[in-house]
Amino acid sequence: MMQAELRACDMAANTAGNNGAGEETPRRPPSPRRLDSGLTAPQVRSSLALFSWNAGFRSIFETICGGTTFVFVAFACAFGFEKEQMGWVTLATSIACVLQIASLPFISMLGSSRKVALTAAFVEPCLVIIAVLVVPFLGAQARVPVFMAAVFLASAFVNMSRPITDEWLASTIPAELRGRYLGRRLQIVSGATIISTLVAGQLVERLGSSNVHGLSLILAGGGVCGVLAVVALKGAATPASTSAANVKWGDFASVWRGDSFRRCLIFMAVYNIPFFFACPYYQVFNLDVARMPADMIALMHTGYYLVKLITLPRLGKVADRLGARRTMAISAVIYTLFFAVFPLCGHGRYWPLMIAWAVVALADGAYSLAYQSAFYAAIPASAGRPAYFAVNNIVTMALFAAGASVAVPVLRLLRGVSFTAGPFVAGNFHILYGMCAVLMAPGVWFSRLLPEDRHTEFRQSSVVVRR
């Protein structure tokens, strides 16, 4: 359907005329109509297809090699990381995000931001591949610092490219199709994640969660998919706004003047407070606290992404009907219950967690569609557009860094502390997630910070489709 709408742009611009006497006038071969992005409809169509391929390969890479995935966590713990130290990985990637501010003006001066962005994005998975293959052969004292250095550098390179590639995608998507395309893109991500999660889970189960060399090969395979994600973008057309992007130091200050953009950031910051503490430790909890086998973790994640894959088309319509604030308020209730389930789990008692992940997929799907669509709509057309994406990424990662910095000493302080209530025994990780449930509850009220007109894209795209 989306291809039909883009094709209609060409047809509307190429209708036949006559000379007033009922006869067809000779005409030149029709040229494709250019959209607001400066691209023709065929260019938009092919570019969005390539961005979808990029999203699929990138999701495989992040599912396997992401800093909080069960393969990455198992690998890190197998070669010497303490489980409480996993928060430092999030801290390292967050600090690297600051380089977006330093690099963007210099990239703009080079005159080919697209080429620099693709090169930086290509270096990231290459560093991951080299690191996971080399680190197991290093001495025990060198493994952790060398690995952390590789994590930091890989994050630095991808963060140099991200504001440009984010703006590139946002400018390529026609406004009237934004909600529809983002929904389909999320479906592709969910499908690719399901497949890679199942495959990775089976491989880890067969090779063993403490097999350093086996895990390094799995991570290297994920790194190859990261390379393919960058290769997919080489054929995508560049919109006029991306080509004309020229970020200056003053743009980083001017982004705060936009009311909608500012409200989106404030909402994101306060609504996601519990996630800044919780996210680095999901897989630590699964592997060490709940003692879940790798194939069960894969099955749990598969259920999560399968629910998202099935419900995403409907979630956009529901979010449109309820409105952004009510959607986020309902999601906050689901998130609160989700965190409250963790204290109920223990060694071998992980079935409540599997159910909780399947249910929270509904909240995550609605949140992803609503926030990304609203964020794109809040950014004005200007040469400094990449600065908005950089500021958003930096604020997000800075908050994750702060959360990780607090969580590590808190977990160490609570080490050895436990509470018993019948069959339930709560240790330091149980207490952490119980605190997250308490912090999530006010999200019902924080949703009022959100701009109310977030889902105009969903309404626009549904009108276009009906036509």
pTM: 0.65
Greatest pairwise CA separation for the chain in angstroms:
93
Angle between helices 41-65 and 140-172 in degrees, nearest 10:
160
Per residue in 320-357, pLDDT (tens digit) is 777 778 888 899 999 999 999 999 888 878 888 999 99
Residue 242 has what pLDDT? Answer: 63
d(CA 87, CA 405): 7
d(CA 126, CA 220): 9
Residue 9 has what pLDDT? Answer: 41
d(CA 376, CA 87): 30
Q: Does the structure show a pLDDT above 80 at 435? A: yes
Joined together, the tokens standing for residue 274 give 């519990």
In percent, the amount of the chain with pLDDT more than 90 equals: 19
Quote the distance between the C-alpha of residue 356 and its chain's center.
Answer: 21
Residue 423 has what pLDDT? Answer: 64
Q: Does the structure show a pLDDT above 60 at 144? A: yes
Q: What is the mean pLDDT of the chain?
A: 78
Q: Does the structure show a pLDDT above 80 at 244? A: no
In sequence order, what are the beta bridge partners of 441?
none
Q: Does the structure show a pLDDT above 70 at 35? A: no
d(CA 149, CA 407): 21
The mean pLDDT of 123-137, rounded to a whole number, is: 93
Q: Does the structure show a pLDDT above 70 at 462? A: no
Per residue in 246-282, pLDDT (tens digit) is 566 666 677 777 778 888 889 989 999 999 888 888 8
Listed residue (65, 339, 362, 291) closest to 197, CA to CA:
65
Task: Give the amino acid at 335.
Answer: Y
Q: What would the DSSP string read from start to end of 191-233?
A: HHHHHHHHHHHHHHHHH-TT-HHHHHHHHHHHHHHHHHHHHHH
Q: Does the structure show a pLDDT above 90 at 222? A: yes
Q: What would the DSSP string read from start to end of 367-404?
A: HHHHHHHHHHHTS-SSTTHHHHHHHHHHHHHHHHHHHH
Domains assigned to the chain: 45-236+256-456 (1.20.1250.20)
Which residue would you say has higher pLDDT here, 13 or 362?
A: 362
Residue 356 has what pLDDT? Answer: 94
In percent, the amount of the chain with pLDDT more than 70 equals: 78
Residue 15 has what pLDDT? Answer: 35
Task: Give the amino acid at 8.
Answer: A
Lowest mean pLDDT among 174-188, 339-353, 374-388, 422-436: 374-388
